[in-house]
Chain A
């Protein structure tokens, strides 16, 4: 029940709702607890039907660089 699952944004609906793809299954989710705006193809974490966080794509790229450094050190 406290799981938060990574999902991909597929459709932006009205009234703070979106459709996400969770490993192939489409589900509706509520985005009223998210401050950032979402676009299709964004990745988010969904917890009991609400989006709680949006993936920071820049940071995800940064992670790869950090690993490279770490792996070489």
Chain B
């Protein structure tokens, strides 16, 4: 079997799907707004230029799907506090480096001498801890269920006295519920994140159509995958028969990845979590469970309350994150806030809505 991924880039299938999408929206007769909650969806649909290919009546809005963008300044402040007071080495993903904290980013802290090392995975952070037994090593762990399950595997099997994990992990399905409950954002369906769904399965979204009468399509990342998802959502809207339609069945099972779910349930407990600029959202976070307290940085160190600035003056990241505002509506966009000089978290990561808008806008011009 040749690489199956290629097929999901087929121009022919893409064109036919676009025709189908046109037909559906024509029959619906009203503009439709669909929300995805995945940084990778944002990146891949921009890369494929899908927004300009689909009819303008179908608006794709980016929800709070990039873990770097939603990470509160509080978490950055707290790991830096541990580094400053205990001489700890911070290890984290490269994406985190330039995310603004209340007063400085990790990158800026590194500039004043804090030892911060970028790793590809939690396993690399553990190797650093093994090599430096006399120094405390913290792994600053961010991400949704996909990344959390990997951290969970290491939480369960690792016990090194000088190593701990600061969990900034967040959950997708309860965040989706909170988005549906807000009356300040109008949208009509969810494109559910493919990679998160490989872990949790398609079942956890069942409440969306059942309780909120809202359509869901679990979609992958190739152009055909994303268009199939959009087509499914429009069809559900037109027929007024919302359901959870999994169009990424080749990788996503209804029940998900059971080994990963077991690891998540064992390593973490559900907790309240602070989202950038949006305050604390109940039951949307993952903290390390009591059983593994020895590896939990939040238990190991008594971190005091630190003064918090989650949004810098003029930055609208909170509204950008929930798809309420577009980057071009922010007065700082491409003026004082640019990819090489980010003011808000959404301008930092490659899949942050403001960064994507900035990068591709430049190419367009």
| Pair B147/A63 contact, Cβ less than 8 Å | no
| Pair B249/A49 contact, Cβ less than 8 Å | no
| Pair A47/B195 contact, Cβ less than 8 Å | yes
Residue from the list A1, A56, A57, A71 in contact with B147, Cβ < 8 A: A1
Residues of A within 8 A of B7 (CB): 60, 63-64
Residues of B within 8 A of A56 (CB): 249-251, 253
Residue from the list B68, B149, B249, B253 in contact with A1, Cβ < 8 A: B68
A33 within 8 Å of B by Cβ? Answer: yes
| Pair A50/B150 contact, Cβ less than 8 Å | yes
Residues of B within 8 A of A12 (CB): none
Assembly CA distance A71 to B224 (angstroms): 13
Q: Is the interface of A mostly helix, strand, loop or mixed?
A: mixed
Closest to A49 in B: B121
Assembly CA distance A33 to B323 (angstroms): 33
Assembly CA distance A30 to B4 (angstroms): 22
Nearest CB in chain B: distance from A24 CB, A: 11
Nearest CB in chain A: distance from B15 CB, A: 10
Encode B256-277 as 1/0 by CB contact (under 8 A) with A. Answer: 0111100100000000000000
Nearest CB in chain A: distance from B64 CB, A: 13
Residues of A within 8 A of B361 (CB): none
Encode A31-70 as 1/0 by CB contact (under 8 A) with B. Answer: 0111100000101010111101101110110111001001
Residues of B within 8 A of A25 (CB): none
B20 within 8 Å of A by Cβ? Answer: yes
Residue from the list A2, A33, A59 in contact with B39, Cβ < 8 A: A2
Chain A residues within CB distance 8 Å of chain B:
1-4, 6, 8, 30, 32-35, 41, 43, 45, 47-50, 52-53, 55-57, 59-60, 62-64, 67, 70-71
CB<8 Å pairs between A and B, sample of 25: A2-B38, A2-B143, A2-B147, A4-B198, A6-B4, A33-B149, A33-B257, A33-B259, A34-B257, A34-B259, A35-B258, A48-B122, A48-B147, A49-B121, A49-B123, A55-B4, A55-B250, A56-B250, A57-B1, A59-B249, A60-B7, A62-B249, A63-B7, A64-B7, A70-B20
Chain B residues within CB distance 8 Å of chain A:
1, 3-5, 7, 13, 16-17, 20, 38-40, 66-68, 93-95, 120-123, 142-144, 146-147, 149-150, 153, 195, 198-199, 249-253, 257-260, 263
